[in-house]
A and B are shown apart, each in its own frame.
Chain A
Amino acid sequence: MATIPTTASGIAAAIASKQITAREVIDSYLAQITARETDIHAFNLVTADAARAHADAIDADIAAGRPIGPLAGVPIAIKDNLCTHGVETTCSSKILEGWKPPYDATVVSRLRDAGAIMVGKTNLDEFAMGSSTENSAFGPTRNPLDTSRVPGGSSGGSAAAVAAGFAPVSLGSDTGGSIRQPAAMCGVVGVKPTYGLVSRYGLCAYASSLDQVGPFATTVADAALITEAIAGHDAMDSTSIPQPAPALVASVSQGVAGMRIGRVTDLPAGAEPEVIARLNEAFAALEAAGATIVDITLPSLSYALTAYYLIAPAEASSNLARYDGVRYGLRVNAVDTNSMYGATRAAGFGDEVKRRIMLGTYALSAGYYDAYYGKALKVRRLIAEDFERAYAQVDVILTPTSPVVAFPFGDKVDDPMAMYLCDIYTIPTNLAGHPAMSVPFGTGAHGMPVGIQVLAPALGEAPMFRVGGALENAAGGAK
């Protein structure tokens, strides 16, 4: 048997050229899952049998000379807040435990159409609310690089799956950093596309105006490949941008000569010294590769956390109201429907979800709307305008992804505000609706990986991937 390539593009090429079979690839990844999943707990569900059957079908297609998709045979892990027809989708919540959706998310059907093989549904902070995956109702995911530490969150399972070699690529969702932050903490690449570039149809909503689906990968090129596969207009999502998927893989190797890279001089403080050191090295590397570093200011950035933690919970309080024990999911029986609601939702949601639902309900309630939600929407505009001014001067902006490296379990779980501060650098892009990616760039405290974040203006995925590619090249030399 030939060696199994470690990248999605390598696997697709090897299968298409009949150097290996899809079945060999999937068996190899399933073997790795068998070996380490007990330690990592990246998955809520491993769909081994379906994955093997899918691989066999692809091999049969190849043998028969039938056309295959561009990702034929590529194993992929799917965050468990993306609907998969007939396959349990839980959002890592007791309230949805056992629920089998009667339909597929658009991204799931696009990946299947492209020939990718789902290996399982990955763990997350319940309803994507959290930064460590400790808020999963089914137990935390452990960081494959140090199992005493969190993988970040909320897409901790998808990040860990790629970092542990359970799949070459995976899908996550990013509302305030839920792809980029765990990517940084697990030492993999993570991309949050422009709001509207990737369909949200079938993504169990956390905060509708902020949520976006994106990939994890071991390489920037693979991240671009998967972004291409899932992007493009979807008529089922009213907020989907009516444009075809952009070509992005080619950008990765274009280099950064002549590009203007923004350095935020008023970046909110709080990052670990090693993180700042890696950021500075990243600037130096890009400069050495021919880019110009331009100092910019984003004066409203420090207010992003407040705006986010009012807007996201407000939308969440409404989005999660549908989990009422009537049509699907958990029901705790009671004498009347109203009592059933209260009992079901109390038993079905974890504390962090409850906190955000209450916070959001409060922010929207009579007499408080203007002071909280209304004000937060205005701050959101200020932040977007800050970025608009900055992008008049630069092509992309570089910041740390997370202020801290992966931390030990329990470190912040009882202090919501400390946990929220993990998202301080990732949140602003979600508010603006812009794309951003995290690229591994050396290590920080305790030898844990550091991620550098590349931010770009709306639909600026191409320049973002150019810089991502350059950072990846330079990272070999980083500490």
Chain B
Amino acid sequence: MSPSGTPISAADVAKVARLARLDIDEANVVHFTEQLAKVMGHFSDIDALDLSGVGPMTQPFPLVNVLREDVEQPCLDTDEVLNAAPSSDQRRFRVPPIIGLDD
């Protein structure tokens, strides 16, 4: 199911995998497409519902204005945190060159 009524395609799955930064080879794209199409096939049940006038529910418990005072709290230990990092250098987190990313 999709808004146009066509099932999720391999191209959709490949695009979504790119957006989610999941390297998936072609064989697996086909495999995942079959599984997701089957799952999403069940989701067409809600198309029959009349949802006009129904507001979206984003919070299960209605709270509003949860605020904290602007008061400093203790920080984490830099060494403890950097020791848990895959790579660090000069007390910073180190990553490979940043290319191929949005600005």
In the complex, A touching B (Cβ < 8 A): yes
Q: Which residue of A lies closest to B25 (CB)?
A: A346
Residue of A209, A210, A362 near B8 (CB, 8 A) is A362
Q: A239-B59, A340-B96 are in contact. Are A328 and B84 (CB under 8 A)?
A: yes
Which chain B residues lie closer than 8 Å to A354 at the CB level? 22, 24, 32
Interface string of A198-242 (1 = CB under 8 A from B): 000000000001100000000000000000000000010011011
* Shortest beta-carbon distance from B68 to chain A in Å: 7
The answer to whether A336 and B99 have CB atoms under 8 Å apart is: yes
Q: Is B27 an interface residue (CB 8 A)?
A: no
Interface residue from A99, A196, A343 paired with B23 (Cβ < 8 Å): A343
The answer to whether A346 and B32 touch (CB under 8 A), given A307-B46, A371-B2, is no
Question: Are B46 and A306 closer than 8 Å at their CB atoms?
Answer: yes
Q: State which of B56, B93, B97 has its C-beta within 8 Å of the C-beta of A378.
A: B56
**Are B23 and A345 touching (Cβ within 8 A)?**
yes
Contact call A362/B60, Cβ cutoff below 8 A: no
Shortest Cβ distance from B82 into A: residue = A327
What residues of chain A lie closer than 8 Å to B49, measured between beta carbons?
300, 303, 379, 382
Chain A residues with Cβ under 8 A from B56's Cβ?
Answer: 374, 377-378, 380-381
One of B19, B58, B60 near A365 (C-beta < 8 A): B19
- What's the tally of chain A residues with a CB closer than 8 Å to chain B? 76
A209 CB contacts on chain B under 8 angstroms:
58-60
Of the listed residues B40, B55, B60, B93, the one surrounded by the most CB atoms of chain A closer than 10 A to its CB is B60
Are A331 and B59 CB-contacts (below 8 A) given A336-B96, A358-B17, A362-B8? no
A359 vs B36: C-alpha distance when bound (angstroms): 7
Contact (A365, B16) CB under 8 Å given A354-B32, A377-B57, A382-B54: yes
Complex CA–CA separation, A431 to B2 (angstroms): 23
Pairwise interchain contact B57-A380, C-beta atoms closer than 8 A: yes
Q: Which residue of B lies closest to A380 (CB)?
A: B57
B35 touches which of A325, A334, A355, A361 (Cβ 8 Å): A355
Please name all residues of chain A whose beta carbon is closer than 8 Å to the beta carbon of B84 when the two chains form the complex: 99-100, 102, 327-328
Q: A100 to chain B: closest CB distance in Å?
A: 6
Contact of A328 among B15, B85, B95 (CB under 8 A): B85
Interface of chain A, main secondary structure? helix
Contact, CB under 8 Å: B22 / A241: no
Contact B42 A305 (CB under 8 A): yes
Shortest Cβ distance from residue B63 to the other chain A in the assembled complex, whole angstroms: 7
Does the CB pair A346–B22 fall under 8 Å?
Answer: yes
**Which parts of A337-393 form the interface with B (CB within 8 Å)?**
337-343, 345-346, 349, 354-355, 357-359, 361-362, 365, 367-368, 370-372, 374-382, 384
Dominant secondary structure at the B interface? loop
Residues of B within 8 A of A158 (CB): none
Is A321 an interface residue when CB atoms closer than 8 A count as contact? yes
- Encode B30-43 as 1/0 by CB contact (under 8 A) with A: 00100110111011
Instruction: Kindly supply a per-residue 1/0 record for chain B positions 74-103, scoring 1 wherever the CB is within 8 Å of any chain A CB and 0 otherwise.
Output: 001100110011110000010111111100
B20: contacting residue among A337, A358, A377, CB under 8 A: A358
With contacts A306-B45, A337-B101 known, is A239 near B63, CB below 8 A?
yes
* Bound-state Cα–Cα, A307 to B21, Å: 25
Contacts of A458 in B (CB 8 A): 60-61
From residue B98, how far is it (CB to closest CB) to chain A in Å? 5
**Could you tell me the distance between the alpha carbons of A307 and B8 in the complex, rounded to whole angstroms?**
18
Residues of chain B lying within 8 A (CB to CB) of residue A380: 56-57
Is A196 in contact with B39, judged by CB distance below 8 angstroms?
A: no
The CA-CA distance from A77 to B46 in the complex, in Å, is: 39
**B residues less than 8 Å from A194 (CB atoms):** 61
> Could you tell me which residues of chain B, from 57 to 72, have a CB within 8 Å of some CB in chain A?
57-61, 63, 66, 68
A365 to B17, CA, bound (A): 12
Known: A328-B85, A339-B100. 13 other contacts (CB 8 A): A306-B45, A321-B20, A331-B86, A337-B96, A374-B56, A377-B58, A378-B54, A379-B51, A381-B56, A416-B38, A417-B38, A433-B60, A458-B61
**Can you list 26 pairs linking A and B with CB atoms under 8 Å apart?**
A209-B60, A242-B63, A306-B45, A310-B43, A321-B20, A329-B86, A330-B86, A335-B96, A336-B97, A337-B99, A340-B95, A342-B21, A342-B22, A354-B22, A354-B24, A357-B22, A359-B36, A374-B56, A375-B51, A378-B57, A380-B57, A381-B56, A382-B51, A382-B54, A384-B60, A458-B61
Q: Which 3 A-B pairs have the closest CB atoms?
A: A433-B60, A377-B56, A331-B86
Interface set of A (CB-CB < 8 Å, partner B): 99-100, 102-103, 194-196, 209-210, 235, 238-239, 241-242, 300, 302-303, 305-307, 309-310, 317, 321, 324-331, 333-343, 345-346, 349, 354-355, 357-359, 361-362, 365, 367-368, 370-372, 374-382, 384, 416-417, 420, 431-433, 458
